[in-house]
Structure 1
Amino acid sequence: MRLSIIIPTRNGAATLRDLFASLSIQTVLPDEMMVVDSSSSDETVTIAEQTGAKVTVIDPDEFDHGTTRTAAARRAAGDIVLFVTQDVVFVGDQVVEHLIKSFTEDDKIVATYARQLPAPGATTIASHLRLFNYPPRTEIRSLADCERLGLRTIFLSNSCAAYRKKALEKVGYFKENLIFGEDTHAAARLLARGGKIKYVADAHIYHSHNYTIGEEFRRYFDIGVFHQSESWLLKTYGGSGGAGSAYIISGIHYLLGSRNYGVIAEFIVRVAAKFGGYRLGRLYSYLPTSLAVRLSLNRGWWRKRSSLKKGESHT
């Protein structure tokens, strides 16, 4: 079973060396390493080429979470394609092995993804989010789980996720021009075809973000836009199933347990920012584009969307 690793990059020199170093010690090494770089102005391309990766450079305006990954996956020689983001570090030498062995154990498994641990330097709140979203228990999910898990059934992260290429090809790879969630969107279609997704809790990576409160708001605004524009996901798989309340309770317990009492108020403000951003994102179609751009974390998507609309109006 051949393996291709695909890494989209842009100005990732600060983290890329650590990623490649952690990849080099894996017990299972890829048959090819592919880097798709959005015209970095730092040493990203040089670092990637030094590792022997096949580097493709694209214009930054061409980058799209779904389109870029689809193009790379189509070119990939591997039977398994493993997507990794540039700010990930593998923990230990068996991460890749844990992710891909599941494909030989169960033909129904079409995608696997790693457990994300707080990166060194993660804030207390960022650490809790990772521990909440990525528990220490492996889980296999199928379409039958949607009544029990709701939207979490299709939770998947392309920060470190492996797919059977043939299964991905059958669902048309990743959808183009999504503001967010190309991985979740693909997962929904893979499960709809009878596949299974495996969360591999033994495959550890460091990956977290110390978002500001404003960035939290904008990220959840984008999630709201995604859920509204792809409303079939909620209709098919249901809502969050109480995950929001569970997150709040878990967060307060975590902060109390770690004696970070002074951070509890900030945590509550962040939760409010996420909720407000998400609700506003669900109403994006009523907002002027100029405002939506300011509210969004993925501002380039709105500019590209406006360009596409202008192009359609002239045809």
Structure 2
Amino acid sequence: MCYLLLGNISALISDDCTEPLVNARLRVYLPETGYPNRCRPKKNIFNGPGLLTAAQVAAKSDRLLAETRLDEKGNFMMTWEQLHLFTEPLELDICLHHLPEEGNKVMETHYHLSWLVPHWKRSGLRYVAAYAYVIPAESWSQIRANYGTWVIAGTVRKMHSSEGQSQLKVEVYNAGNHRLLGCCGTDENGRYQLHFTKKELAGALAFLHEPQQESGPDVYFKIYRNNQLLWEEREDAAMMPGRKAIPSCSIINITIPQQPVPKSQGKNSGHFTGWLSNLAMATGRRSSLVSY
């Protein structure tokens, strides 16, 4: 009998924003032989992700049932053969080699996700079940920090409009040296998601806002439409809460005026004049900035 397990693995950046675990490997293990029923893990309880040591990974290699790689959307599909009706609880782990923005850099880490008893359904000559897992934002931020990477996501809107602005290019800059950290486009809903690594911080002094603790950069943005500058923020926008020493997973929403005026035409304005009163900042890692 053939068994097919399919699903998706993703991570939360915030409560309403996720990213897939591109090219990560999902591993499925059988339970240890002779595992007493009374001691078996509870069904379908998400206990992770928990970091595994190399020794822990090696210790269960003989129980490996199947392994597959996630695609660019975090989707997966794996199959295996079993002679009897498969009712054993499965142990699921994820292996990360690197994050997509790191290129060919390799730093392999393993995490336990959960124990699972799939709800198998007969479909022709095989049994099929589905599985999905979403890594909590706090855990994903720590994992990204361990890899020295950042993700910033948000929505670009015009003032007095709830609609996101599509087909814009978003650039984020390091206020420490005014170098470009990363860029991306907005989707049909005006949402953007950009990534960068420690190497993009090269040339600036280490951002040590706290002793012995490495922090993220202070950032500001530029917005383009059809490769023409639509709006650029003042560099001092990076001094506002939500822009300083950004965490590894950050949400920054940007609101631009209906008729934006380039920053260069407003150089004589005060340090925060005109836009400080319009600042709207969410709690935690979120910030929303209105610029003039």
**TM-score using structure 2 length:** 0.25
Which structure has the bigger radius of gyration?
2
Write 1 or 2 for the structure with the bigger share of strand. 2
